[in-house]
Structure 1
Amino acid sequence: MAYLSQVRSEGKQYIYLTEYCGRQPYTAKTERHVYGFGNSRIALLKMKRWLRKYDSEFPEQLIELGYTENDLREWIETVETGITKNGRKFKITTQKRAVY
């Protein structure tokens, strides 16, 4: 079971598909990123394109991991509404450009 997560780096926000993997030897991490959707500004656009052209555009890596069109629809809904299917907040912050 995977969920969307966010990472902020150098003022940009990135969206990842993350899986819980439990305790692992030699690390304190209990989860791992299995796919990076990229910058939050383009992630939703990318997902919607995959939905329109699911058979040809959906990444093979995600298919091999067992994710389907229904999962993709849930991810899109999470990003659009800012709420996960479990009711948790998932807010995408859009960075405003400075006007000089």
Structure 2
Amino acid sequence: MKQKAKGKVYILLKKSNRQGKKVYSQSIYSFGSMPGALEKMYWLRDHPEEFPTKLKKQGFDLVDLYDWIWTIETRRKKNGKPFDVFG
């Protein structure tokens, strides 16, 4: 997920759930602001032994990291919806 604040775009991993008609989300992990967030993802890809324990405990792995990088680079989510963090 991306979030804009103070003129910067932040890349966050959030978990959402629905209770009735309301949707609640909880931030799981922040990669930081762009373009540093993408650089951090590249670094984690190149140093898999440093993959955050917090993400491992939530069930995420390097396959997910590759998906997140792909989403940012192509500016498209897996479902085809736009995901532009550079504009």
| TM-score w.r.t. length of structure 1 | 0.78
Is the CA contact (8 Å cut-off) linking 2:15 and 2:27 kept in structure 1? yes
| TM-score w.r.t. length of structure 2 | 0.89
Q: Which residue of 2 aligns with 1:98?
A: none
Q: Which residue of 1 aligns with 2:25?
A: 31
Is the CA contact (8 Å cut-off) linking 2:48 and 2:62 kept in structure 1? yes
Gaps of 5+ in 2: none
Work out the CA distance in 2 between the residues paired with 1:51 and 1:44. 10
How many matched pairs? Answer: 86
Q: Which residue of 1 aligns with 2:79?
A: 86
Q: CA deviation at 1:29?
A: 4.1
Work out the CA distance in 2 between the residues paired with 1:79 and 1:61. 22
Larger Rg: 1
Gaps of 5+ in 1: 95-100
Pick the structure with more strand per residue: 2
Letter in 1 for 2:26: R
1:20 aligns with 2:16: yes
Q: CA deviation at 1:30?
A: 2.2
Backbone CA RMSD of aligned residues: 1.5
Q: Which residue of 2 aligns with 1:7?
A: 3
Q: Which residue of 2 aligns with 1:59?
A: 52
Work out the CA distance in 1 between the residues paired with 2:62 and 2:4. 27
